Homo-oligomer: A and B are copies of this chain.
């Protein structure tokens, strides 16, 4: 799994539409479709139920969607924490 997969998942989970999600991500539908497929294979679980007229979250997809924000928050906190302590250090240093 890579963060790219999570970004793709989130877009599709929110749009429930591959074409719109792809547009939002500034990529084409084809790599998006593949990314979701890769993620599903990695997890061993189908995240979306899609027939050729509609896309909706599977049960597993719903649960997964709920946990993604926690990952994003953790990532952001890591970023900010590092940045903040570097700023403080820069202050101390001069």
Contact = CB atoms under 8 A, between A and B. Distances in A.
Interface of A: 1-4, 43-47, 58-64, 66-68, 70-71, 73-75, 77-79, 81-86, 88-89
B89 A59 contact: yes
Interface centre among A45, A83, A89 (most CB of B within 10 A): A45
* Interface of chain A, main secondary structure: helix
A88 B70 contact: no
A4 B1 contact: no
Interface centre among A66, A68, A71, A88 (most CB of B within 10 A): A71
B1 A2 contact: no
20 contacts: A1-B79, A43-B79, A43-B82, A43-B83, A44-B83, A45-B86, A59-B89, A60-B82, A60-B85, A60-B89, A62-B85, A63-B81, A64-B81, A64-B82, A67-B74, A67-B77, A67-B81, A70-B74, A70-B78, A71-B75
